[in-house]
Structure 1
Amino acid sequence: MEDQINSTLADDELIEIFRHLDSIYSRDACSLVCKRWLYLEGLSRNTVQFGRSGKTDTTIRLFADRFVNIQSVYINETSSSSSTKLGKRRRGIGSSTTTRFGRGSNKNACDSKTGTSCLSDSGLETVGGRFAKLEKLSLIWCSDVTDLGLRSFAEKCKTLKSLDLQGCYIGDEGLAAVGACCSGLNDLNLRFCEGLTDKGLVVLALGSGRTLKSLGVAACANITDVSLEVVGSHCKSLETLSLDSETIHDKGLLAVAKGCPMLKVLKLQCINLTDEALQAVGSFCLSLELLALYSFHKFTDRSLYAIGKGCSRLKNLTLSDCYFLSNEGMHFVAIGCQKLVHVEVNGCHNIGTSGLKSIGKFCSGLSELSLLYCQRIDNDALSEIGNGCKFLQALHLVDCSNIGDFAICCIARGCSNLRKLHIRRCYEVGNKGITAIGQNCKFLSDLSIRFCDSIGNEALISIGEGCPSLQHLNVSGCNQIGDAGIMAISRGCPQLSYLDISVLQKVSDRALIDLGDGCPFLKDIVISHCREITNIGLSYLARSCMLLESCQLVYCPGITETGIATLITSCTRMKKVLVEKWKVSERTKRHAGSIINYLCVDL
């Protein structure tokens, strides 16, 4: 049979096709077609990720030989669950393509006695020397890497633009080498780097400060205001600063605010900062677009007054556990920062209804609002949001006891473009509010109403009839919902890909059978603690929803090892099943042991 593809398509055309494949498995399969495809598919990849595999250094050398265009390397040695899970990637045109390696170990540290080998200094040197086009390196909890390895890497990889050293035991000498050799460094993340002091960061700022645009420092006890003063003096292009520290005071942030006029993103969790520092930000950082303040007990409304007065370009504001900020401060921000598109208020107990009403009145472009643990915010606040913020697309409510159906109805009528609604433990929200969402928000794609006891089938019937674009649904703990509600979703929402119906005692096999018929694109389902679901419903769902990738079904007494076996054999794309160990037969373990996760109940 004539090979029409190889004789027709040029190398660059095949490479472009490989780059647009949305599955790592599809790309691997293509590389097995012939030697030409193996070679070209290797050229198409620009990102590689490693977990702890036992042979990290050796694997790096093998990958360097095949994937010669790699620009980004990620090495995560925390655990197998976080570093090696394959998972799916959503990519657009021009986005990177990733190779992942390693099944990993469940241990939290490397163990030479059992033969487990983490990334060494030699392996890191290989990364710098063999990946000639490398621009981005992320080392997460790579405990065997030392200053010697980082220095050798920096000397060989002078094109580096981004470096993440989270949890690595490197010191000042290694960081100083990066500053001396990598003059084009743009992005630096230092988190849990306990060996670093001001000396290392100062030398890096002196060497790479001209190009540095993003800096993150967290839990580095020996990095103080001294470092930030040098950053303020030499990093004039800095745009993003993230600080989580108990050793940073006003002096350091003042230096950055005065010396880095291009600052756009500022995230702070520093218990020793006061109003003086934030007032400087408001005075000097006129380009600021994102401000996030976490756990401040020394900031008052004076800070928000300064932000509102000077930062008219602010688009994103997060206030978390800032106990001395009040409605007055929110009013200042709303008047001065009318370009706000994202606002999150989390546990700020002195911010109430009038503060949020100001946001609704002056920030007409608001697209996302999150209110978490806000006991002083009531229906009138969301009524104003519904009236003034017609472009709102996402609303998150958690433990807001004074918000009920009236507020949700106002949002539904005023914000018809709403795409995402997440509500958790808001017990005053019931059928009336969610029914209004179904009647008015036709573009809703993500609905989560967890542990809202007053919501029942009536609400889901409205969603099923009015929201055909729904893809994600979480109704965990809504005890009034039964088969009728889930069946309405299955018949009206054919695009559904994620469903959580855990702890619903009124849902039975009838609902799963309808889901199998109506939701062919379902990929993830959680049915734990559902006592009325049996092998019959699960088997029908497994045979009908061929795209299923994950399933959690613990504490379902009607599901036995027969149902689990059917699920595993029917769903060839399955990547994760969470179940009790005693429900998995030895044959199923042999067939698919790598994707089965067990509920830990042993003491």
Structure 2
Amino acid sequence: MPSSPRKSPFLPLKNPLKDVFYKMRFHSRSNSVTPPTEFDETHVLNPVYNPGFTRVSYGPDFTSLISDENLLCILSKVDENQLGLCGLVCKRWEKLSGKLVRSLKLLDWEFLDSGRLIYRFPNLVDVDVVRACVRRSHSSGILVSSRFVSVELNSGVSNDGFVRKLDLLDSRVVDQGIRVLVEGCLSLRKLVLVNVSEEGLSCVAEGCKTLQELELYCCCDFVLSGISMCQNLQILKLVGCIDGFYDSVVSDIGLTILAQGCRRLVQLELVGCEGSFDGIKAVGQCCQMLEELTLCDHRMDGGWLAALSYCGNLKTLKLKSCMSIDSSPGPDEHLSYCRTLEELHLQHCRMRDKQSVRALFIACQTVRDLVIEDCWGLDNVTFAYASICRRVRLLSLEGCSLLTMEGFDPVVLSWKELNRLKVISCNNIKDGEITIELATLFSSLKELKWRPDSRSIMLSGLAGTGVGQRGGRSFSRK
């Protein structure tokens, strides 16, 4: 009677990588003519459960036969979020998997200050240390977040804000940790820092010649002189003041220092920063490669819009969460426009000041893409000023509930080059008020996404055609 084929004592695995290693072990046990090697405690895989026995058996690590280069190649196929699990296999895997980690958000400052971070992850290119610089109780279980920063809370929260100056690590401590990081990771390309001093930024500039992107939280004017040596810096984000978290000042002085030192900037984002015409003018004159400028919750003095004309290469202007666009733009005849500007994005801004909105469209009259999302005060009169921009090819409106068809129709029809239109959640724009001229325009567009309200008659009329479905395009032409 023929003997039944021997069943593998190993359970089938869904993970292909683990399956390879277990097959290697089984093949070695079944075909080898030499006795098994001595058990090595330094390289131990997870215990293998054999359903035919009641004990857990350990075997030698046959992955030790794989060279470091080949194992690195295998681990490089693993998702970066799963590399931490690979490091639990053994010390060797921990060291090799750490070499593949490129991005990290630090939560424990001691891990950096002790040098363990550099030993564990020597090839980092993107490091964020903000949360590790805030002294908070890790057992509170309360996490408060804004668009820019997240911190853990405890019972000692003050009435002035969630983060006090005393809650942040001293700048000398931060500088020391940054020095350790820079000396160990020479290929850093992006850093996110908080409460760092001029000396710490100088260390970054000297040690990270490849640094291209930098985010600075809780910084002030004279600290910015430390990054004047970052010759290759292209993307910079300055977070001066965040309501409820901390308050620091970046004014025209800091913007001028910044402009004179970082002349290769391509993208600049100013969050909670002060300034005026002089600061924006200095940035425009010195940073001649600047293509994108973002102002978020700015505290700019009146008249800053006129300085946009000095940005000779600016292509995109973004205003986010601004309570006021320009408090005192001045008369129209004193305003000039940015000749190279192509995109204007307005998100969560207050547009009730009609004079400042008109000044904005005058300064940005060359734009081709106009995007307005959830802005307060955009009514028919305010939107009429957008007709100043005669070269608009793309219009995107979302959450503009005050705008009606009476104000929407004439402006859109005045744009002869318009070929893409997106209208979402603008509840006072009704399908029943669409004119023949507007319907003709719709038929000639390359892209149309039309969902002004949830009771749209157009969508019900297109039911079953597959056009105008949620998340899709109503019309599309190439």
- The TM-score by the shorter chain falls in which range? 0.5 to 0.7
Instruction: Tell me the alpha carbon deviations over residues 176-210 of structure 1, each in whole angstroms, 9 at most, x when there is no partner.
Output: 0112x21111112112351433323212211112x
Tell me whether 1:416 sits opposite 2:464 in the alignment.
no
Aligned pairs, number? 380
Does 1:28 find its partner at 2:75? no
Task: Work out whether 1:74 is the aligned partner of 2:128.
Answer: yes
The counterpart of 2:226, out of the listed 177, 180, 200, is 177
Equivalent position amino acid for 1:365 in 2: R
- 1:310 aligns to what? 366
Cα distance, 1:122–1:17 mapped onto 2, change above 3 Å? same
Aligned to 1:235: 287
Aligned residues: CA RMSD: 4.5
- In the alignment, which of 353, 375, 381 is matched to residue 405 of structure 2? 353
* 1:203 aligned residue: 257
Change (3 A) 1:192 1:305: closer
Structure 2: how far apart are the matches of 1:200 and 1:304? 24
User: Which one of the candidate residues 187, 192, 212 is aligned to 1:133?
Assistant: 187
Partner of 1:265, secondary structure, is strand
Q: Give the 3-state SS of the residue equivalent to 2:258 in structure 1.
A: helix
SS of the residue 1:205 aligns to: helix
Deviations 1:99-157 (A, max 9, x none): xxxx98434558999x9999633212222222211111113xx45x4444334433433
In structure 2, C-alpha distance between the alignment counterparts of 1:9 and 1:394, rounded to whole Å:
58
Instruction: Specify whether residues 217 and 411 from structure 1 end up closer, same or farther in structure 2 by C-alpha distance, changes over 3 A only.
Output: farther
Counterpart of 1:45 in structure 2: which amino acid? V
Q: Which amino acid aligns with 1:22?
A: D
Does the 8 Å CA contact 1:279/1:302 hold for their aligned counterparts? no
Contact kept in structure 2, 1:134 and 1:159, CA below 8 Å: yes
Give, in whole Å, the separation in 2 of the partners of 1:213 and 1:76.
24
Alignment of 1:10-89 (within 5 A): 11=69, 14-15=71-72, 17-22=74-79, 24=81, 26-51=82-107, 53=108, 55=110, 57-58=112-113, 61-77=115-131
How far is 1:225 from its partner? 2.6
2:167 pairs with 1:120: no
Q: Please name the residue that 2:398 is paired with.
A: 344
The match for 1:186 is 234
Task: Give, in whole Å, the separation in 2 of the partners of 1:122 and 1:230.
Answer: 32
Q: 1:411 to 1:127 in 2, by over 3 A?
A: farther
What are the Cα deviations for residues 210-262 of structure 1, in whole angstroms up to 9, with x where unaligned? x11111223234x3332212111101111111223233332x33233333323
Relative to its length, the structure with more helix (as a share) is 1
In 1, Cα distance between equivalents of 2:190 and 2:353: 37
Structure 1 residues 274 and 311, CA gap change in structure 2 (3 angstroms): farther
Range with bigger deviation, 406-415 or 274-283: 274-283
How far apart, in 2, do the equivalents of 1:394 and 1:220 lie?
Answer: 37
Q: How does 1:95-106 map to 2 (within 5 A)?
A: 105-106=152-153
Structure 1 counterpart of 2:319, one-letter code: K
Counterpart of 2:216 in structure 1 is: 165
**Which residue of 1 is the match for residue 244 of structure 2?**
none
* CA offset digits 1:446-494 (Å, max 9, x no partner): xxxxxxxxxxxxxxxxxxxxxxxxxxxxxxxxxxxxxxxxxxxxxxxxx
**CA gap 1:352/1:71 in 2 versus in 1, 3 angstroms:** same
> Which residue type is aligned with residue 212 of structure 1?
L
Q: CA deviation at 1:412?
A: 5.2
Check if 1:272 corresponds to 2:326. Answer: yes
Runs of at least 5 residues in structure 1 that lack an aligned partner in the other structure: 86-102, 422-436, 442-603
Give the CA deviation at 1:338.
1.9
Q: Distance in 1 between matches of 2:105 and 2:118?
A: 12
How big is the shift at 1:42? 1.5
- C-alpha distance in structure 1 between counterparts of 2:362 and 2:163, whole Å: 47
Segments of 5+ residues of structure 2 without an aligned counterpart are 1-24, 29-60, 155-161, 242-247
Which string of whole-angstrom CA distances, capped at 9 and with x for unpartnered residues, describes residues 275-323 of structure 1?
66999998424342243262133345755864785223x2644471244
On the 8 A contact 2:192/2:216 being kept in 1, the answer is yes
Give the structure 2 partner of residue 150 of structure 1. 201
- For 1:296 and 1:117, locate their aligned partners in 2 and report how far apart those are by CA, in whole Å: 39
Report how far residue 172 of structure 1 moved: 2.8
Separation of aligned partners in 1, 2:73 and 2:352: 53
Determine the structure 2 residue equivalent to 1:444. none
Question: Quick one: structure 1 residues 255 and 74, their matched pair in 2 at CA, closer, same or farther if it must change by over 3 Å?
Answer: same
**Aligned match for 2:273, one of 215, 220, 234:** 220
Note if contact 1:50-1:84 (Cα within 8 Å) is conserved in structure 2.
no
For 1:303 and 1:72, the matched residues in 2 are separated by 39
Indicate the residue corresponding to 2:300 in structure 1.
Answer: 247
Looking at structure 1, the residues matched to 104 and 144 of structure 2 have their Cα atoms a distance apart, in angstroms, of 11
The amino acid that maps onto 2:220 is G
For residues 49 and 82 of structure 1, the distance between their equivalents in structure 2, rounded to whole angstroms, comes to 19
| 390 and 247 in structure 1: CA distance in 2 versus 1, 3 angstrom threshold | closer
SS in 2 for 1:409: helix
For the structure 1 residues 322 and 84, does the alpha-carbon distance in structure 2 shift closer, same or farther, using more than 3 Å as the test? closer
Q: Please report how far the alpha carbon of residue 379 of structure 1 lies from its aligned counterpart in structure 2 after TM superposition.
A: 2.6
Q: Distance in 1 between matches of 2:332 and 2:240?
A: 25
Structure number with greater CO (CA < 8 Å, separation at least 6) is 2
> Is 1:291–2:345 an aligned residue pair?
yes
* Matched letter for residue 370 of structure 1: I
- Bigger CA radius of gyration: 2
Q: Do 1:216 and 1:241's aligned partners in 2 also have CA atoms closer than 8 Å?
A: yes
TM-score by length of 2: 0.64
1:392–1:418 Cα contact (<8 Å) kept: no
Q: Cα gap change, 1:201/1:155 in structure 2, threshold over 3 Å: closer, same or farther?
A: farther
1:354–1:16 CA distance, 2 compared to 1 (3 A): farther
Task: Give 1:46 shift.
Answer: 1.0
Distance, in Å, in 2 between the alignment partners of 1:241 and 1:202 is: 15
